Amino acid sequence: MSTGWRFALSRRWLGYLALVVAFAIACVLLSQWQLARRDEARAAMDLVENNWDSAPVPLDDALPTLESFDADDQWIPVRVEGRYLDDEQVLVRGRPMNGAPGFAVLVPLLLDDGSVLVIDRGWVPTGNEQDAPDAVPAPPGDRVSVIARLKAGEPTLPGRSAPAGQLASINLPQVQELVDRPTYVGAYGVLAEEDPAPPVRPAALTRPELDEGPHLSYAFQWLVFGILAFVALGWAVRQEYRARNEDDPAEQARAEKRRAKAAKKQPSDADVEDALLDN
């Protein structure tokens, strides 16, 4: 058996080193991904703080065209007037609230220029006997003034379907097909206020919680994992070095010192007896 540290340059240990390096690189990439997720969460929090309680703006300022939407305008309130197309109301499945299953209620709002802005009027729970609400509060039947907060539409969900009158996601092009009118497909409005206000309306969407999540701590954890991999490799190399060089007088002396140090840390028989008597 070879002695010294030459074994650490063997193909086996170089392979271990390559695995540790690859693992450490993966940890760094995962740490960076967590930091990117944190940046996204903080950007979303900033939009809520800056836009949620701001003064309503004209719809044309926020949405110059039917297809346009600036992500920085998420949650910004707009004031619009028109008439709800209650016959074109559609429910969106899979919308839990406070742990309860339910639906989002989408109602197209026909504006004076003939275009349609989709309004999410709120949430209703799943019925007791069927996979549909027991009742959906009706929107105002006459002309209505609405303040709604803009939100980007959602993509379709592959493999997800919905029965007639329902959608699997708030996919605005799908709503446009149902309405068959010029429709804003870049964003929809989450209802904040209606005038006149109906006696009953679906449960309103609450202000999103400002929580960036545990991404920063996860990022640090991945870096620690990467460092610990090198520590573990160094420990393993050291253990093999001791095994290969156990006949070396210098290593034997170091081993004796380690045993003596460990023995000092162990309680003596008298200490054990005293501890038993104290109990």
Q: Half-sphere exposure (CA, 13 Å, Cβ side) for 31?
A: 16
Kindly report the pTM of this predicted structure.
0.73
Pair 84, 185 in one domain? yes
Tell how strand 116-125 and strand 166-167 pair up: unpaired
**C-alpha separations of 6 from 9, 14, 236, 246, 274 in Å:** 6, 12, 15, 15, 49
166, 195, 224 - which closes a domain: 195
Pair 186, 98 in one domain? yes
Number of domain units in the chain:
2
Pair 169, 228 in one domain? no
Q: Which two tokens stand for residue 220?
A: 């640090």
* 179 in any annotated domain: yes
- For residues 190 and 149, the answer to whether their CB atoms sit within 8 Å is yes
Pair 85, 154 in one domain? yes
pLDDT in tens, the chain (279 residues): 556 788 888 889 999 999 999 999 999 999 999 999 999 999 999 999 999 999 999 999 999 999 999 999 999 999 999 999 999 999 999 899 988 999 999 999 999 999 999 999 999 999 887 888 888 999 998 899 999 999 999 988 777 777 778 898 999 999 999 898 999 999 999 999 999 999 999 999 888 888 888 999 999 999 999 999 999 999 999 888 888 887 777 777 777 777 777 667 666 555 556 555 565
Assign 79 to helix, strand or coil: strand
Pair 156, 93 in one domain? yes
- For residues 122 and 201, the answer to whether their CB atoms sit within 8 Å is yes
